[in-house]
Amino acid sequence: MSDITKQSLTELVENIKNKKLSSTDVTKAFIDRSEKSEELNAYITNDFTSAIDKAKKFDQKPNLDLKLPGIPLAVKDLFCTKNIKTTAGSKILNNFVPTYESTVTENIWNEGAILLGKLNCDEFAMGSSNETSFFGNVQNPIDKNLVPGGSSGGSASAVAGQLSPITIGTDTGGSIRQPASFTGIVGLKPTYGSCSRYGIVAFASSLDQAGPMAQNVKDCALLHEVISSYDPKDSTSIDFKRNHFSKELTNNIKGKKIGIPKEYRVDGMPKEIEDLWQKGIQYIKDCGAETIDISLPNTSYALPTYYIVAPAEASSNLARYDGVKYGFRAKGENLIDMYEKTRSEGFGAEVQRRIMIGTYVLSSGYYDAYYLKAQKVRKLIKNDFDEAYKKVDAILTPSTPSSAFKIGEKTNDPVSMYLNDIFTVPVNLAGLPGISIPAGHDLNGYPLGLQIIGKAFDEQNILNIAYAMEEKINFKNKITDWWIK
């Protein structure tokens, strides 16, 4: 079966359950393609040898009742994996091997899946193009020298390039949805508190959420069902009844009310994005749902709010990387000198920039003007959504204000880079679920995504809407395998 890697998760599971494929077949196929795909630079660490061992072991005594029976997959290198190096894309953790497993990955292995390796990402998930990784750029399978988005760039590239049938990323301000949009795949940012943060290298604790990335909505629903769980080890994890998302998935969204927020029509937005959005509205209507114009008046404050809250939390979260206990340590004359050299050499420029912004906004004398105000605005942004959800069941927006850009195009202009997250950050600030689905192409044939934002804990609803739209959109990703010689 030469086309194993082209199969969706749902197909692979079915074929393994029907014994048409063994886990070893599938694992070898993805390893083989991954090995041919070094130019994408999607992996930081591979675990291929032991993946094959695990696959063989699975095949000897296959448990076909599991949700991911013998399915190989790679995960973002922000998830701590027991005995496998976990770097968070940073030099400062380049030698760090956890003795523990993140809850989300544990959930995946418990359902029979097999780890292929750890995927590249922006350093500490800080970036929108995967260019801040200590381990180099990731190529977008769509075209050479195109960014895959970030921070889950390696994850997006691996799924779009068929190196891994599905994967998980993390999303703090758009890090799942934006790269999903840039690479023509589906990415879900769950409600804050839905997936445990235990064992995920923290960026901004009040915003970070793990989520599934897949080739289609159904695969995404299945993986979400596996990773979402209540975890007492994470005090922000929420104990609520979780759906069987994949089983309950339906394309019947008749009568649903979908809000179209006027504030997302931002200045300078390319026509192709506006056109895509209009197309999306038409698809919604074609599915028998209704669209309603709504207002989210504080949208324009979301980005500045995000760039205060996230760096503030990051500046504190990253204080533990001091060279004392683990990770990279530079030689110093004394403790302070060691700290300074370790952190100057261990962190890249973008991480240092955010640590400085965060430290600044929390300093005495500036706290009220920045951090405290940002928290207040954050509440207003959440209120906007609460108001809107009195009238609508979900909200439809573009995922990003543009399609993927070229590597290096925005590296010297952080603000223009930050603007990439303009449609995704409000969702994180409000703690809501959001899904990006591929919905069309720009003039270059690069994918464009639409985002569906749901009510808190209403993942099933946005998955259903995405599922219904997916059918109408009938998106075909243009993967040419340009990187395979």
Min dist. Cβ of residue 329 to other proteins (A)? 12
Q: Within 10 Å of residue 320's Cβ, how many Cβ atoms?
A: 11
- Which of 201, 287, 357, 437 contacts other proteins by CB under 8 A? 201
Using CB under 8 A as the binding rule, whether residue 206 contacts other proteins is answered as yes
The one among 96, 109, 230, 482 contacting other proteins by CB under 8 A: 96
Q: Is residue 405 at the binding interface for other proteins, with CB under 8 A as the rule? A: no
Give helix then strand counts, H and E, for the chain.
15, 11
Closer residue to other proteins, CB minimum distance, 199 or 447: 199
Structural contact between residues 314 and 371, judged by C-beta atoms closer than 8 angstroms: no
Selected catalytic residue, list 90, 152, 164, 175: 175
User: At closest approach, how far in Å is the CB of 189 from other proteins?
Assistant: 17
Structure-block tokens of residue 47: 């675990």
C-alpha 79/C-alpha 365 separation (Å) is 36
Residue 374, interface with other proteins (CB under 8 A)? no
- Closest to other proteins by CB, 73 vs 93, is 93
8, 50, 94, 236: which one binds other proteins (CB under 8 A): 236
Residue 482 binding other proteins, by CB under 8 A = no
For the record, the structure tokens of 139 come out as 């190529």
The C-alpha atoms of residue 58 and residue 51 are separated, in whole angstroms, by: 10
76 is catalytic: yes
Pick out residues in 321-350 that bind other proteins (CB under 8 A): 322, 324-326, 335, 339
Applying CB under 8 A, which of residues 144, 247, 262, 320 lies at the interface with other proteins?
320
What's the one-letter identity of residue 11? E
Q: Which stretch binds other proteins (CB under 8 A): 128-136, 356-364, 386-394, 469-477?
A: 356-364
Burial tier of 271 (Cβ tally within 10 Å: 0-12, 13-18, 19+): exposed
The site map against other proteins for 65-84 (x = CB under 8 A) is --------------xx----
Kindly report the number of other CB atoms within 10 A of residue 59's CB atom.
Answer: 16
**CA angle, 482 as apex, 479 and 485 as ends, to 5°?**
135
Q: Tell which one of 19, 20, 144, 233 touches other proteins (CB under 8 A).
A: 233
Active-site hit among 54, 67, 76, 455: 76
Say whether 151 is catalytic. Answer: yes
Shortest reach from residue 188's CB to other proteins, in Å: 21
102 catalytic residue (yes or no)? no
How far is it, in rounded angstroms, from Cα 316 to Cα 364?
A: 15
| Size of interface with other proteins, in residues (CB under 8 A) | 43
3-state helix, strand, coil in the chain (%, to 5): 40, 15, 45
The neighbour count for residue 170, using CB atoms within 10 Å, is: 28
| 98 counts as binding other proteins under rule CB under 8 A | yes
Q: Which is nearer to other proteins, 81 or 400 (CB)?
A: 81
Q: Which of 151, 155, 157, 402 is catalytic?
A: 151
Shortest spacing between CB 419 and other proteins, in angstroms: 25
Q: If binding is defined by CB under 8 A, does position 312 make contact with other proteins?
A: yes
What is d(CA 104, CA 201) in angstroms, rounded to the nearest whole number? 12
Distant-in-sequence, close-in-space partners of 145: CB < 8 Å, separation ≥ 6? 139, 406, 407
| Number of C-beta neighbours around residue 448 at 10 A | 28
Distance, CA of 134 to CA of 153 (rounded, Å): 13
Q: How many CB atoms lie within 10 A of CB 3?
A: 9
Query: Which among 96-104, 150-158, 252-260, 378-386 is the span making contact with other proteins, rule CB under 8 A?
Result: 96-104
Closest approach, Cβ 311 to other proteins, in A, equals 12
b/e per residue, 241-264, with b = 16+ CB within 10 A?
ebbebbeebebebeebbbbbbebb
Any idea which residues carry the catalytic annotation? 76, 151, 175
Applying CB under 8 A, which residues contact other proteins?
79-80, 86, 88, 93, 96, 98-100, 102, 197-202, 204-206, 232-236, 312-313, 315-316, 318-320, 322, 324-326, 335, 339, 359, 362-364, 367, 371
